[in-house]
Structure 1
Amino acid sequence: MDASPDFPRQSRVPVFNLPGVITASIAVLMAIQAVREFVLSDGADIWVVLNLALVPARWTVWLDPSQADAVITAAGAGGTEAIAAARESFARYIVMEHAADLWTFATYALLHGSWLHVIFNSVWLAAFGSPVARRCGPWRFGLIALAGTVAGGALHVLLVPLSTAPLVGASAGVSALMAAAARFVFQPPASAYGNQPWHLPPPRPPETVRELLRNRTAVSFLAIWLVTNIVFGLITLPLGGESAAIAWDAHLGGFVVGFFLFPVLDPLSRRAS
């Protein structure tokens, strides 16, 4: 008789054992970047950016046409003479266009400035989106990511209303998932549950804000995340054709929404209430 313990079944190699929605999301982001990089012409790619990226000044002028001169002046400030002229020309196009599409608050997350940018976001999506997807399922996962994306874009427009730089990247949505995961992944293990390493404790409701503040691991994570975003907001990184500053405000907007939205959508929170 075989007296060996009944270990959990592993159907796939653990390192590749990602939820299907995570694998699909990363595949979509990679495919879009590949099409833009290897298939589309420069003109077609510019059309994609103009119609899918989020340009704060476009919304500012649409809401208040009197800000048109301020947008053009801001665009022509700083940089070399050639860069300033190009930015001013683009700003005049934005002012003349008078178009603002609601979908850009979501679709900007599908575009990235470079392969480094999309790979970086995909790694964090796999790391922090996976526990949220496993716990909440694909639909609630998608809702948290979408809400964080929209909130991050809205805060970015609010804080830099005259900017003509297109906002791209899934970082705001990923930040929302990071915040959601922080509500439960750092919980200390349940005491007196099982006596074997493969006996996993059942999932528990997310920690409250007060419990998180008493959790040193969670507090350290939140502090590192905040400091990192502040630092990246002050420097420029080569994420596109030229160096660009990280949109820390979009990250912050996504993080805050994910942090407070997760308990509302979390199945265990709803079951416990």
Structure 2
Amino acid sequence: MTRPNKPNLPDPLANAREPIFNLPAAMVAGVAILTAIHVLRSLLPFETDLWVLFTFAFVPARYISDSLIGLSFPGGAGADLWTFLTYALLHGSWMHLGVNVAWMIAFGTPVLRRFGTVRFVLLSAVAAIAGAGAHLLTHWGEFAPVVGASAAISGQMGAAVRFAFQHPASIWSTDPDARWKQPALPLARAFHDVRVLAFVAIWFAVNYAFGATGMAGDGDASVAWEAHIGGFLTGLLGFRLFDPAASPRQDASFPDQNNGS
């Protein structure tokens, strides 16, 4: 008596074994660093954490003469420079951190896979600096410290919009030869796509609504929406400075993306 061979049926659990989050190691490291810094701050005595805040957060009043404001900020001349970056490593609350991490994972991951770690970090740093500069210009002399990675993440969002809508089906692909690594359209041609225009318009509207009106404040804190704009414009307008992909030829190989076509 023989037993028939068992047919090779598809495994219904095969797809379930795929990882839910397939993040690059650099993204995991970035999330871990931001989280570790916030954990350490939560363990510090209030006075020590206050020193950390005014040494590494961005404070527009720092750039006014000490004799005019009657006090000096910790960190001295060095902090006048490094706070343009270090403020992005601090967060005001766990909710603030969680929201920023979620946006960074969503928009920063495809940019990281396209740019590579070094270019991604450079973009984020330049966007953070631009965000601090924009806040300084619009809030000169204010004592309220600015913290959070939002400007850097806004830069990542601005960069993502330059290529995400060209190949939306593969934006999260881990294949190094995926379509989202192909050359991006020039900015003028990218704006022929109504989805790009809509995303940029909605982004500015939401940031203004939640920032200028204080609708998204965390407790007594307000949203530094001008810093977000500085970061976003860095990623949107400065995309070519960081993108490793070659510019496309001005021919039919990259047709305009009107209405998603």
TM-score range, shorter chain: 0.7 to 0.9
Higher-helix-fraction structure = 1
What is the match of residue 256 of structure 2? none
Give the counterpart of 1:245 among 196, 218, 222: 222
**1:49 maps to 2:53:** yes
The correspondence of residues 94-105 of structure 1 with structure 2, limited to 5 A, is 94=72, 99=77, 100-105=79-84
What is the match of residue 172 of structure 2? none
Secondary structure of the 2:246 match is helix
The one-letter code sitting in structure 2 at the alignment partner of 1:145 is S
What is the match of residue 231 of structure 1? 209
What is the match of residue 255 of structure 1? 232
Which moved further from structure 2: 97-106 or 47-56? 97-106
Q: CA RMSD in A?
A: 3.0
Whether the 8 Å contact between 2:166 and 2:180 is mirrored in structure 1 is no
Distance 1:154 1:124 in 2: 22
Relative distance call for 1:257 and 1:96 in structure 2 (3 A) is closer
What is the match of residue 106 of structure 2? 127
Give the counterpart of 2:62 among 21, 44, 58: 58
Distance 1:168 1:96 in 2: 16
Distance 1:243 1:43 in 2: 19
Which moved further from structure 2: 205-214 or 23-32? 205-214
User: How many Å apart are 1:269 and its aligned residue?
Assistant: 2.8
**1:18 maps to 2:23:** yes
**1:30 maps to 2:9:** no
User: How many Å apart are 1:243 and its aligned residue?
Assistant: 1.6
User: How many Å apart are 1:21 and its aligned residue?
Assistant: 1.1
Secondary structure of the 1:183 match is coil
Relative distance call for 1:17 and 1:96 in structure 2 (3 A) is closer
Whether the 8 Å contact between 1:206 and 1:263 is mirrored in structure 2 is no
Relative distance call for 1:147 and 1:272 in structure 2 (3 A) is farther
Identity, in percent, stands at: 41
What is the match of residue 134 of structure 2? 155
What is the match of residue 267 of structure 1? 244
Whether the 8 Å contact between 1:57 and 1:94 is mirrored in structure 2 is no
User: How many Å apart are 1:184 and its aligned residue?
Assistant: 0.2
The correspondence of residues 48-87 of structure 1 with structure 2, limited to 5 A, is 48-61=52-65, 68=68
The one-letter code sitting in structure 1 at the alignment partner of 2:233 is V
Whether the 8 Å contact between 2:208 and 2:225 is mirrored in structure 1 is yes
Tell me the number of residue pairs that the alignment of Structure 1 and Structure 2 aligns.
231
TM-score (norm 2): 0.79
Cα distance per residue 1:182-227 (max 9 Å; x no partner): 100011579xxxxxxxx96473211222222211111111111100
Whether the 8 Å contact between 2:111 and 2:160 is mirrored in structure 1 is yes
Cα distance per residue 1:153-197 (max 9 Å; x no partner): 01111111121100100000000000011100011579xxxxxxx
Cα distance per residue 1:94-129 (max 9 Å; x no partner): 489975520000000000110000000000000010
TM-score (norm 1): 0.76
Give the counterpart of 1:205 among 165, 174, 183: 183
**1:107 maps to 2:86:** yes
**1:166 maps to 2:145:** yes
Give the counterpart of 1:184 among 132, 155, 163: 163
Cα distance per residue 1:8-56 (max 9 Å; x no partner): x99x84431011111111111111111111x211111011101100100
User: How many Å apart are 1:261 and its aligned residue?
Assistant: 2.1
User: How many Å apart are 1:141 and its aligned residue?
Assistant: 0.4
Whether the 8 Å contact between 1:156 and 1:249 is mirrored in structure 2 is yes
Relative distance call for 1:235 and 1:179 in structure 2 (3 A) is same
Whether the 8 Å contact between 1:180 and 1:258 is mirrored in structure 2 is yes
